[in-house]
Structure 1
Amino acid sequence: MCASSASASTTDRPDRKQQNQGQNWISQRVRLAIYMRDGFACAYCARGIEAGLTLTLDHIVPYSKGGAIKDPKNLITACLNCNSSRGNRSLKDFVAVSAPYHQRDPAEVLNFIRLHRQRVLKLKVAGQMIAQSGSCRKVLDIVQGGGLI
């Protein structure tokens, strides 16, 4: 049953921790397609997978603040350190603090995120890469090692 009021609180939403454990809250194919869209690099610090970092997906509008949990346009690639540091701060507030720390211009970081959100995901290619290697994690290991698929 749909809520008829636009003022429904976020407490009416399912508990994300109960609903989506670990990295299985989104399909491997979509996860890999987002990583590919974003160049296998963190949108915040710009370090790439070749630096040995762990990639994660960060919600541009946090789920706790009403953001869509699985919408690729609400997801951006972030390293584990940046994603953990952000918490549920607004994107603008986090970028204002983190970009200078990484010697980046906040406006450029926000523009990067805006442009990448608009890109079409290559779901078919991501699916083929996973089929070839066996999992999203194995694709990331190959890319991280400088190998080609």
Structure 2
Amino acid sequence: MTSGISARVKLVVAVAGIAVLSGCTAQYRTHGYVPPEEELQQIVPGIDTRASVEDTIGVPTTASVRTEGGIYYVESQVRHFAWRRPEVIDRTVLAITFDETGVVDNVVTYGLEDGQVVPLVRRVTQSSDRDIGFIRKLFGNIGGLNASELLTN
């Protein structure tokens, strides 16, 4: 009877151990889309237009704010591991630029190693009102009144 219980306990411990270990394996996820090289070979600078590029390789991930700017396809590979914050391990950015007439000017691929970290700085214009007290704000304009201005209006 004890050998049957110990076999069940061993099985439960083994299953629990496998479940714990499988939770600690890294998971990789791909976000975004960059067309394969075979499709990129079909784009001819100087001939293709924005519309023909979208017909050939699909709708871009993002586009330039300017109409004559470029379109961008972005693909990132992210590693998720246990309790840690997800980490981007690979990123590919395909940039297709256009000239003023909307014809393809250049096709360039950038990798994660080509990127630069851009620090975002929050710039807030400081007003001088913070230095003025409430009473001064309240009575500040009293001395600026001119009786002749009041009577002419």
TM-score (norm 1): 0.23
Report the TM-score, using the length of structure 2 for normalisation.
Answer: 0.22
Relative contact order, higher structure (CA 8 A, sep 6+): 1
Structure with the bigger percentage of strand: 2
**Structure with greater helix share of residues:** 1
